[in-house]
Structure 1
């Protein structure tokens, strides 16, 4: 009943968010349609976008420290994330698998967001922006690179940006790892 009267379905939100992103100049696979099946309340919902070929997703950068041009890609991801934030886009599922990357050649990359249902359009403080990046599962080296670029764009010091990005990234990683450990212990 919540989805029928109080909240739009995930499919509907993804569809609407895709168009809003496109209007703001943010790449996402083009939305085609969504469908909702009701039986009393919402039973199922489906979102369809155009198929998109891409070269890799952000996870590749997490798992391959020697990925070609990795540092430049990370700088461009920081610029892309800054663009999201400047457009008041709080992508709540800003995680490694939800950013697709296309290599345009000449060291330039395009970034596309997927899994769009969890998103807010709101002004974001510096603290909230750094908190938003926590799900990217950044290593120390990745934080060093991305915080330098983001600090330049935002007008904060490298130290301020690095400290907050590290704080939120590590807290998120600790939380996820603790949950995994508890699950393993329960299985034994």
Structure 2
């Protein structure tokens, strides 16, 4: 009569799994072929995901430009490549955004050149005139009179000049560079 030693069930299962381990090891070729963890499949999946991501981004950008065109903030310039251009209304919106989000770390020295903007925009364009004032305030201009603003910051002056030029206000707005302001 032989002695039978009872082996616990979990021990038996673990023993069987250790026998099967080489087959299911992720480093073995069999598992890679069986479950599809090969390099070609990974690269195909990666490329597919990248194409999908790029397509989603493209559609988001196109929808954003369509919304801007509907709001009359940009216009499409047709040509070989096709490009977009800000309208005067778009420049005002951009100027407000730029002026509110610009953060100056340096202190402005009240020496040297002063940059003065003088404008005479009629009551008919009151909304635009008030918006221009808000932009100049946000760019840290100092109001000398109701329609005369002063700054010592060359970058702010240059940006305000671009806004004025693109909004076609050269005949109503004068920009002055003063060597000495007292």
TM-score by length of 2: 0.23
* Bigger strand share: 1
Larger radius of gyration: 2
